[in-house]
Amino acid sequence: MNAFYYRRNELYAESVLVSRLAERYGTPLYVYSRRHIQAQYRALAGAMAEVRPLICYSVKANTNAAVIRTLAAEGAGADVVSGGELFRALRAGVPVSKIVFAGVGKTGEEIEYGLRRGILFFTVESEPEIRRIAACAERLGRTARIAARVNPDVDPATHAHITTGEKENKFGVALQDVRGLCRLAARLPGIEIAGIHMHIGSQILSAAPFAEALRRTRELCAELKRAYPSFRYLDIGGGIGIDYRPGQKPLLPETYARQVAPALKKLGISVVLEPGRFLVGNAGLLVCRVQHVKHSPHKTFIVVDAAMNDLIRPLLYEAYHEVLAVRRGRRAIRADLVGPICESGDFLALDRDLPAAREGDLLAMRSAGAYGFAMASTYNSRPLAAEVMVDGRKSFLVRRRQTWRDLVRDEVIGN
Ligand SMILES: Cc1ncc(COP(=O)(O)O)c(C=O)c1O
């Protein structure tokens, strides 16, 4: 489903004019399509139906409560990586029995929170971590279900900063060390071995690396299932890639399912998926207003009111976001799209053919629903943008714009 489209040269979000949203809620503005999120969830659940996976939305991609709630209403669980994300997932209505907790450095406080609430399982990434979880469980008189995170050492052919399943990465334990970790886990009090977990990277556009990771781990999985009666889950993480560029081929859920579902079915195990970007990436736009156009002898700069603090992906990952004119019709010019922050890295698009926008025009960055607002900061004391959800003809504010006062609310002037 494409939630954002043109009719008579005006950009729409579902049935709502994007220009209306900008007028009503101001800019910079994140706009999300509820129907797109629902359609993505249903497409993945449908494609993987033969293994009936538990789809745990990876909350880090977009932490807005309305987004999490939309997915929870579809039946999704949550993949969280901090106490804060666990808090958000519970607050938004995700059942605790569908929450998995990953991350290489969980604190004692976070482990205790997860244990007290009774999450489905913690993924564990090292021996010290499993000992810490066991000590916490024993102290609380609880049982911690754990899934050992395997690093299968496959190349997901994506950007180096979002590769997580190669041997150089900090994540998981090597395949040959998983049995030892499970033996240790079995000896520790308060630990139940619930399964294994992997997540090989993000924005993966081919199903082959997923199939390869499964091929490398399936024997281990079968062996652990025989060895530990409590072993029930294989969590194959997230990572399904989407289209950012016009014409780019996304990894379709059917293609993904064709490569992974048969092997999963053969294992006869409960399957967990942790998609983030796939569910919300193309459900979001970042709408901004042109402040002015600056010509230098070498270049043209379109200066907008959104900046790297609102969307850091172009700088952090050299990510490409398509730039749309909210009202189409101007010719294209070669330019950089930049924000007002005092950094040369403050760009949203570099050396691109962009709409020849003028002061006051509205532009929209496509594919901004994942790792957009979630990575935003208030650098240069820029208040966080507002977020709005569209559902058919309706739109509603799902996060109000920060004020200057919000910026200093938690500060203490001391002596
Ligand atoms: C453990 C884990 N699961 C799931 C995800 C979600 O990845 P994606 O948004 O690519 O689906 C991530 C992303 O970093 C992750 O670290």
* Ligand 1: nearest atom to the Cα of 276: 9
Calculate how far, in angstroms, residue 125's C-alpha sits from the geometric centre of ligand 1.
15
Taking the CA of residue 103 as reference, the ligand 1 atom at the shortest distance is 1
Question: In terms of Cα–Cα distance, which of 201, 178, 176 is closest to 123?
Answer: 178
Asked whether 138 and 192 are in contact (CB, 8 A), the reply is: no
**For ligand 1, mutation pick of 62, 106, 202 (most atoms within 8 Å of CB):** 202
* Confidence band for 1, pLDDT divided at 50, 70 and 90: confident
Average pLDDT over the chain, rounded to an integer: 95
pLDDT of residue 153: 85
User: Topology of domain 4-31+281-408, per CATH?
Assistant: Lyase, Ornithine Decarboxylase; Chain A, domain 1 (2.40.37)
Residue 204 has pLDDT above 70, yes or no: yes
> Per-residue pLDDT tens for 8-33?
999 999 999 999 999 999 999 999 99
Tokens describing residue 189 = 């009090």
Rounded distance from Cα 57 to ligand 1 centre (Å): 9
Number of the ligand 1 atom closest to the C-alpha atom of 281? 9
Query: How many whole angstroms separate alpha carbon 354 and alpha carbon 246?
Result: 14
CA of 324 to the centre of ligand 1 (A): 27
Query: Residue 166 — pLDDT band, cuts 50, 70, 90?
Result: low
Integer Cα distance of 269 and 147 in angstroms: 13
What is d(CA 198, CA 207) in angstroms, rounded to the nearest whole number?
15
Domain ranges of the chain: 4-31+281-408, 34-278
Q: Looking at residue 113, what is its pLDDT?
A: 98
Residue in 57, 221, 75 with CA at minimum distance from that of residue 152: 221
**With the CA atoms of 348, 353, 357 and 359 taken in that order, what torsion angle do they form, in degrees rounded to the nearest 10?**
50
Cβ atoms 71, 45 nearer than 8 A: no
Angstrom distance (rounded) from CA 190 to CA 265: 30
SS3 232: coil
User: Number of C-alpha atoms within 13 angstroms, CB side, residue 61?
Assistant: 32
The pLDDT score that the predictor gives to residue 361 is 97
User: What are the two backbone dihedrals, phi and then psi, of residue 27, each rounded to the nearest 5 degrees?
Assistant: -130, 160
Which of 37, 56, 58 is the pocket-test mutation for ligand 1 (most atoms within 8 Å of CB)? 58
Q: Say how many Å lie between the CA of residue 55 and the centre of ligand 1.
A: 12
For domain 34-278, say whether CATH 3.20.20.10 is its number.
Answer: yes
Closest residue by CA, ligand 1 atom 4: 238
Atom number in ligand 1 closest to CA 204: 10
Share of the chain above pLDDT 90, in %: 91
Per-residue pLDDT tens over the stretch 245-282: 999 999 999 999 999 999 999 999 999 999 999 999 99
Distance 211 CA to ligand 1 centre (A): 17
Please name every residue paired with 98 in a beta bridge, in sequence order, or none if there are none: none
Is 221 annotated in the active site? Answer: no
pLDDT score for 162: 60
Locus of tokens 């009774």: 118
d(CA 209, ligand 1 centre) in Å = 15
169 pLDDT band, cuts 50/70/90, is low
Q: What is the pLDDT of residues 306-320, one digit of tens each?
A: 999 999 999 999 999
State the pLDDT at residue 173: 87
pLDDT digits (tens, 9 = 90+) for 132-162: 999 999 999 999 999 999 988 887 776 766 6
Residue-wise pLDDT for 52-64, tens only, equals 999 999 999 999 9
For ligand 1, which residues put their CB under 6 angstroms from it? 58, 60-61, 79, 102, 164, 199, 202, 237-240, 274-278, 370
Q: Which of 41, 57, 60 to mutate to test the pocket of ligand 1 (most atoms within 8 A of CB)?
A: 60
User: Is 264:214 a contact under the CB 8 Å cutoff?
Assistant: yes
Please give the pLDDT value at position 171.
72
Distance CA 247, CA 111 (A): 44
Contact 117, 98 (CB under 8 A): no
Check if the beta carbon of residue 364 is closer than 8 Å to that of residue 285.
yes
- Residue 188, token pair as written in the block: 């520790």
Tokens of residue 160, six digits: 């180096």
Residues 330-364 have pLDDT tens digits of 899 999 999 999 998 999 999 999 999 999 999 99
Write out the H or E segment, with its range, that includes residue 197: strand 191-197
CA angle 123, 236, 79 (to 5 degrees): 50
Which H helix or E strand runs over 404? Answer: helix 404-408
Q: Give the confidence band of 168 by pLDDT, cuts at 50, 70, 90.
A: low
